[in-house]
């Protein structure tokens, strides 16, 4: 008979996708299960996200769970020392320090669950989520429904001309789009054309 060795092993779970894809809803579901199991849970969100509540994580489907607001990723580390499970929402609003903090927490034997956008409004990777995916043990990719055609949506369409990368908003500013219906901003279209032109020149040079 095999003997079971109990070890204090931690890990990182990442839930990523476009807006309206159920990321926060899935995060809340996992955290509630941990609470039901009587585990010590610490839940955080960035100070910048005050769309629905100052002291709760709230999904677009109106599920919610109490959370703490923090200014930096390092605040999460300081306030999670007694927790067994750490939940972090809207991870794209933190800087790359979040990756190091999550790894430290996992190395301390904690289950770390992170939810966030993996692409910005231009359809480009949204730091620090790509780095989090590289170090995570478990990854869940969620999809919304395209508001134009009804196909699986993987992109977040911004409906305003604001060119800042971080603009906090909900359905008033954003909507979910599939690959075919997504319309990147003009600056991204120019970059795509320039990149394609450079690849063409490189191919000609290599012949």
**Strands 11-17 and 155-158, bridge-based pairing:** unpaired
Q: Is 25 a catalytic residue?
A: no
**Strands 85-88 and 56-58, bridge-based pairing:** unpaired
* Catalytic choice (78, 90, 187, 191): 90
Q: Per the structure block, which two tokens stand in for 161? A: 């001309």
Q: Are 151 and 178 in contact (CB under 8 A)?
A: yes
- Separation of alpha carbons 10 and 102, rounded Å: 10
Q: Are 43 and 64 in contact (CB under 8 A)?
A: no
Catalytic residues, by residue number, are 90
């Amino acid at each position: 008979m095999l003997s079971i060795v109990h070890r204090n092993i931690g890990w990182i779970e990442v839930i990523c996708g476009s807006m309206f894809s159920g990321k926060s809803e899935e995060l809340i579901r996992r955290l509630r299960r941990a609470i039901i199991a009587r585990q010590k849970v610490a839940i955080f969100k960035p100070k910048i996200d005050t769309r629905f509540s100052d002291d709760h994580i709230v999904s677009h489907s109106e599920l919610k769970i109490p959370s703490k607001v923090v200014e930096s990723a390092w605040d999460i580390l300081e306030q999670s020392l007694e927790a067994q499970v750490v939940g972090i929402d809207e991870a794209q609003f933190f800087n790359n320090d979040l990756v190091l903090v999550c790894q430290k927490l996992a190395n301390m034997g904690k289950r770390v669950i992170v939810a966030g956008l993996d692409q910005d409004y231009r359809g480009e990777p949204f730091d620090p989520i790509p780095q989090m995916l590289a170090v995570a043990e478990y990854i869940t990719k969620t999809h919304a429904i395209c508001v134009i055609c009804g196909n699986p949506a993987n992109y977040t369409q911004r409906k305003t001309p604001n060119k800042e990368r971080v603009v906090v908003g909900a359905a008033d500013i954003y909507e979910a789009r599939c690959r075919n219906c997504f319309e990147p901003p003009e600056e991204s279209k120019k970059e795509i054309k320039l990149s394609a032109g450079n690849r063409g020149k490189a191919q000609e040079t290599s012949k």
